[in-house]
């Protein structure tokens, strides 16, 4: 992002000039730095103005932002549900439902300009059990990002692994449920979405974090290091095959298509413990996740002592992402 660095005495005159020529970048504020005035100008600014030096604006201060909704409405005339923009610093990820695809380039151009982005990606969804993201570059190619939430930091390459900001509350909720000295198993650890907040904000004795995708595992290791947590045991492997029996007090199943792993989760419990089972469920069969947990427990000869379900977020039209909390007692081993 460019700016003009000018002496105070001529700043007002220069400001008027770039404003008149339509070359001032209105998304950033004019500011003072080391006795000079810094006037933001649009990228591609190529005028020579006496007494003004073109510099890189290293510490931009943005004006009150129009939000993404206003940008979309101003271009498409309406704002459908499931349109979304996430910002990781100056890298953006945009989701557009089919009806907005015709406006894609105009929306992208305005979003990049308005937020001063280095890169903007179009999120085309996630695929398969590994939930690999399909990202289309709309502007730039920067894809390594660092995201902070709940006092944790996550570093990842957004073209290689998925990240879901919508589950932020759920991650802290589970972390708060963990009792002192518990052994926790995170069956689908990803880059540490649950593992890191649990390790950081609870007094778990150990958090076993299993992840099958080497790309995610790489960032899991990185995030364990970045967050300075010492009670995590990362495991590169398939939760269907690498999980021993009878060692955990709590199992987190943070994958929305993981019904077939329920029996592994239950058998990982010591004689009694909690399973947090996630599922994407159409609203017309809302009781399905609870039934699935009950059925899996029954097949294992285990008893459900307590069970409840809560919504994590809207997933798609008429489909919810929910989590079932089940306290289960294993009767036979
Ligand atoms: C949906 S992501 C985790 C999302 C997370 N719950 C959140 O809130 O953002 C699921 C992770 O499970 C991993 N995974 C899929 N199948 C697996 C398996 N059989 N064993 C271990 N990990 C698996 C994927 O690679 C992915 O990193």
Judged against a pLDDT cut of 60, whether residue 21 lies above it is answered with yes
156 occurs within a structural domain: no
DSSP 8-state class, residue 28: B
Of ligand 1's listed atoms, the one at least distance from the Cα of 242 is: 20
Token pair 């285990």 in the structure block, residue: 302
Distance 185 CA to ligand 1 centre (A): 13
User: What does the alpha-carbon distance between residue 278 and residue 324 come to, in Å, rounded to a whole number?
Assistant: 6
Three-state DSSP at 214 gives: helix
Last residue of a domain, one of 87, 112, 142: 142
Same domain, 116 and 166: no
171 occurs within a structural domain: yes
Q: Ligand 1: does its nearest atom lie under 6 Å from the Cβ of 223? A: no
308 occurs within a structural domain: yes
Judged against a pLDDT cut of 90, whether residue 130 lies above it is answered with no
Residue in 129, 187, 197 to alter for ligand 1 test, most ligand atoms within 8 A of Cβ: 129
Same domain, 137 and 184: no
Q: Ligand 1: does its nearest atom lie under 6 Å from the Cβ of 190? A: yes
62 occurs within a structural domain: no
Nearest CA to ligand 1 atom 25: 130
Report the side by side order of strands in the sheet with 232-236. 232-236, 206-211, 183-186, 248-253, 269-282, 319-330, 302-316
Q: Ligand 1: does its nearest atom lie under 6 Å from the Cβ of 267? A: no
Please give the tally of structural domains in the chain. 3
Residue in 255, 262, 311 to alter for ligand 1 test, most ligand atoms within 8 A of Cβ: 255
Same domain, 38 and 81: no
Same domain, 197 and 285: yes
Same domain, 182 and 284: yes
Q: Ligand 1: does its nearest atom lie under 6 Å from the Cβ of 254? A: yes
130 occurs within a structural domain: yes
Same domain, 124 and 104: yes
- pLDDT tens-place string over residues 225-280: 999 999 999 999 999 999 999 999 999 999 999 999 999 999 999 999 999 999 99
Of ligand 1's listed atoms, the one at least distance from the Cα of 188 is: 12
Same domain, 137 and 189: no
Which token pair is 57?
A: 């604006």
Residue in 132, 190, 254, 323 to alter for ligand 1 test, most ligand atoms within 8 A of Cβ: 190
Same domain, 17 and 120: no
Same domain, 136 and 248: no
98 occurs within a structural domain: yes
The residue segments making up the domain with residue 124 are 68-142
- pLDDT tens-place string over residues 58-87: 888 877 667 899 999 999 999 988 899 999
Q: Residue 75 is part of a domain; what is its CATH number?
A: 3.30.300.110
Same domain, 88 and 32: no
Same domain, 109 and 51: no
| 332 — pLDDT class (breaks 50, 70, 90) | low
Same domain, 170 and 223: yes
182 occurs within a structural domain: yes
Q: Residue 32 is part of a domain; what is its CATH number?
A: 3.30.70.2580
169 occurs within a structural domain: yes
Q: Is the ipTM of this complex over 0.85?
A: yes
Q: Residue 271 is part of a domain; what is its CATH number?
A: 3.40.50.150
CB-based burial, 218-231: b 16+ in 10 Å, e otherwise: bbbbbbbebbebeb
Of ligand 1's listed atoms, the one at least distance from the Cα of 238 is: 20
């Amino acid at each position: 992002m460019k700016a003009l660095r000018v002496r105070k005495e001529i700043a007002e005159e220069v400001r008027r000039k770039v404003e008149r020529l339509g070359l001032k970048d209105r998304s950033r504020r004019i500011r003072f730095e080391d006795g000079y005035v810094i006037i933001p100008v649009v990228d591609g600014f190529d005028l020579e103005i006496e007494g003004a030096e073109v510099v890189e604006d290293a510490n931009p201060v943005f004006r009150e932002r129009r939000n993404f909704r206003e940008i979309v409405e101003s271009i498409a005339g309406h704002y459908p549900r499931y349109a979304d923009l996430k910002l990781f610093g100056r890298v953006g990820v945009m989701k557009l439902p089919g009806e907005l695809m015709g406006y894609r380039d105009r929306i992208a151009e305005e979003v990049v300009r308005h937020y001063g982005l280095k890169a903007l990606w179009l999120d085309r969804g996630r695929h398969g059990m590994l939930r690999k993201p399909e990202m289309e570059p709309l502007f730039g190619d920067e894809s390594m990002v660092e995201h902070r939430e709940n006092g944790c930091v996550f570093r990842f390459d957004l073209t290689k692994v998925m990240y879901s900001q919508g589950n932020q509350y759920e991650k802290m909720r589970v972390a708060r449920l963990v009792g002192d000295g518990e052994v926790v198993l995170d069956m689908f650890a990803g880059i540490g979405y649950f593992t890191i907040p649990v390790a950081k904000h609870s007094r778990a004795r150990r958090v076993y974090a299993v992840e099958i995708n080497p790309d995610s595992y790489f960032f899991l290791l990185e995030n364990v290091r970045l967050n300075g947590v010492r009670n995590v045991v990362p495991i590169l492997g398939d939760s269907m095959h690498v999980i021993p029996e009878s060692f955990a007090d709590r199992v987190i199943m943070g994958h929305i298509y993981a019904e077939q792993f329920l029996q592994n989760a239950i058998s990982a419990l010591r004689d009694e413990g909690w399973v947090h089972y996630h599922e994407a469920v159409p609203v017309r069969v809302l009781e399905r996740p609870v039934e699935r947990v009950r059925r899996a427990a029954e097949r294992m000869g285990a008893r459900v002592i307590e069970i409840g379900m809560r919504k994590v977020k809207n997933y798609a039209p008429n489909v919810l992402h929910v989590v079932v909390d089940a306290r289960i007692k294993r009767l036979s081993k």
